[in-house]
Structure 1
Amino acid sequence: MRTSHPARHTVIGIALVAVMLFPVYWMVNASLAPAGNALNTQWFPLDPDFSGYSRAIADQGQNLLTSLVVAVGACLLSVVIAAPCAYALAQLNIRGTGVLVFFVLISQMIPGIVIANALYTAYSPLGLINSIPGLILADASQGIPFAILIMRAYLESFPSSIVEAARVDGCGHVRAFWSIVLPVSKNSLVTAAIFSFLFAWSDFLMALTLTTGESIRPVTLGLYTYIGTNDTDWSAVMSTAVLSSLPAVILMIIAQKYIAAGATGGAVK
């Protein structure tokens, strides 16, 4: 019988992680280089220069704030809508639940450009083009279906007897959902919220389609235009990329235990 080689597996794992993380390292390294062409960047930031970050904040600070407002708004809207929907699909005996879940799955398969163009047509007469509420609604349309599926997977494993006991004690469905189900669904709730935030934070297509000026511009679109106008100052471009990556990285580090528990919460019933 062939024995396993943990050391060899560890080396292979480290090598694969190093390959995947190398672009991140180079982004940080280039952001600390003096202003100039990225081809002149050294392999190690022996003499780090933080001037790129000051230029990035001056040029893209407003865009970062716009992305933060839109992502938080889309996250809250997605959770507020998805949580009761997931509870209804998992715990209430609704006729045609399978069909409704199928439509939720189908909604995630529609190409984003189709949704973006449809929203542009609907937004034009409503005056939602170049507006933060318009971007929040658009980004929430991507987060809500995924949040429903994540929370429903967990709530299907939630003991229905607890809800039935609350109903016998006089709680309505809303009270049972708010007072009993939500407090114990923290893992799936946080997981759905984080992914909804990340979907909105990293969105580019909706921002490109639904904004036509510079007054409302998320950082993804700002970075796209920034590269075109700063092709000789890559330290500022990479500094903007680092700053735009920090919220997602920090959020994932803080909430990784909730994500792991929430993603697997419905796997075993």
Structure 2
Amino acid sequence: MTTTRRRWFDTVIGLVLTGIMLFPIYWMINVSLTKSGAMRQDPPSLFPFDPTFEGYEAVLSQQLPFLGTSFVIGIGTVVLTVVLSAPAAYALAKLRMPGGGALSFVLLVAQMIPGIIMAMGFYAIYLNLGILNSIPGLILADSTLAVPFGVLIFTAFMSGIPNELLNAAKIDGAGNWRTFRSIVLPVSRNSIVTVSLFAFLWSWSDFLFASTLDGGGSLQPITMGIYRYIGNNNQEWNAIMATAVVASIPAAVLLVVAQRYVAAGVTAGAVKD
């Protein structure tokens, strides 16, 4: 097989596989635009020739509070994750703290703990602290997933920062904290975007912590909104799919906007000079 034919073959295979993976998303959008009557009588067609936006109207009138709560939780998780993981990674990568290797191992182990075990532990603690069914409680719980990942990503990136750059700052009289704020953080933009994106997506898509720690709260995230909406409207498939589409838009937009930074941040530290 010649090189040109091989490229065409690889391209076709790639397009076919991409189409297969994206078809559920297309079908979700298609069903969200299909009238309820058409759904009950016949399977929806492959293309919504007579689209309706009644499902989206229902979603926007009923799901906006859940979306707002998820945004607050997501932003809070991002802030807490970056505030905790960036300084910790700087200490592991550049300050060479005693026990740093053991701490890195503990962070890896922490990511292997099943979420349901963590949720039950959080439930007992939150019950005693009185922070069940609260936004701060969910922010703290979601951050436990993102912080270990953030420390690992930041450590890999900061390990590649030349020591000469940090030494120059120290010669000018900057301490560790000033060096971290003025030198390390500005050059860590890619890793900050990467960690922030994953932290937001994890909190945005979280259902386990939300159902365990905020199942009865007045302010619930969109995952709980979708869960309750499906239970209350199990015949209104256009509204259910419209809810899924609306909930997917923020994640999709963030991935498209930040993909360049994410690629650079995830591969940081992979190659050493």
Whether the TM-score (by the shorter chain) exceeds 0.5 is yes
| Correspondent of 1:169 among 164, 169, 172 | 172
Measured after TM superposition, the shift of residue 214 of structure 1 is 5.0
AA matched with 2:152: L
Measured after TM superposition, the shift of residue 55 of structure 1 is 0.2
Paired residue for 2:29? Answer: 28
Measured after TM superposition, the shift of residue 175 of structure 1 is 0.2
CA distance in 2, matches of 1:217, 1:40: 33
Is 1:137 aligned to residue 136 of structure 2? Answer: no
Of 8-17 and 205-214, deviating more is 205-214
Conserved in 1, the CA contact under 8 Å of 2:92 and 2:100? yes
Secondary structure of the corresponding residue to residue 250 of structure 1: helix
What are the within-5 Å matches in structure 2 for residues 122-161 of structure 1? 122-161=125-164
TM-score normalised per structure 1: 0.97
Is 1:69 aligned to residue 68 of structure 2? Answer: no
CA distance in 2, matches of 1:127, 1:236: 36
Q: Deviations over 1:227-251 (max 9, x none)?
A: 1221110011001000100000000
| Correspondent of 1:50 among 42, 45, 53 | 53
Paired residue for 2:208? Answer: 205
Is 1:250 aligned to residue 253 of structure 2? Answer: yes
Is 1:261 aligned to residue 260 of structure 2? Answer: no
Measured after TM superposition, the shift of residue 3 of structure 1 is 3.4
CA distance in 2, matches of 1:140, 1:97: 21
CA distance in 1, matches of 2:96, 2:139: 32
Measured after TM superposition, the shift of residue 21 of structure 1 is 0.4
TM-aligned CA distance change 1:228 to 1:53, over 3 Å: same
Paired residue for 2:11? Answer: 10
What are the within-5 Å matches in structure 2 for residues 49-128 of structure 1? 49-128=52-131
TM-score normalised per structure 2: 0.95
Paired residue for 1:188? Answer: 191
| Correspondent of 1:224 among 227, 234, 245 | 227
CA distance in 2, matches of 1:249, 1:184: 26
Secondary structure of the corresponding residue to residue 63 of structure 2: helix
Secondary structure of the corresponding residue to residue 96 of structure 2: coil
Secondary structure of the corresponding residue to residue 15 of structure 1: helix
CA distance in 2, matches of 1:164, 1:94: 17
CA distance in 1, matches of 2:50, 2:191: 44
Conserved in 1, the CA contact under 8 Å of 2:134 and 2:217? no
CA distance in 2, matches of 1:166, 1:131: 43
CA distance in 1, matches of 2:257, 2:167: 35
Query: Would you say how many aligned residue pairs link Structure 1 and Structure 2?
Result: 268
Conserved in 1, the CA contact under 8 Å of 2:58 and 2:239? yes
AA matched with 1:40: P
Of 216-225 and 197-206, deviating more is 216-225
Secondary structure of the corresponding residue to residue 266 of structure 1: coil
Secondary structure of the corresponding residue to residue 246 of structure 1: helix
CA distance in 2, matches of 1:144, 1:214: 25
Conserved in 1, the CA contact under 8 Å of 2:134 and 2:219? yes
| RMSD (Å) for aligned C-alpha atoms | 1.2
Unaligned runs of at least 5 residues, structure 1: none
Unaligned runs of at least 5 residues, structure 2: none
Measured after TM superposition, the shift of residue 224 of structure 1 is 1.5
AA matched with 2:93: A
Secondary structure of the corresponding residue to residue 223 of structure 2: helix
CA distance in 1, matches of 2:126, 2:61: 31
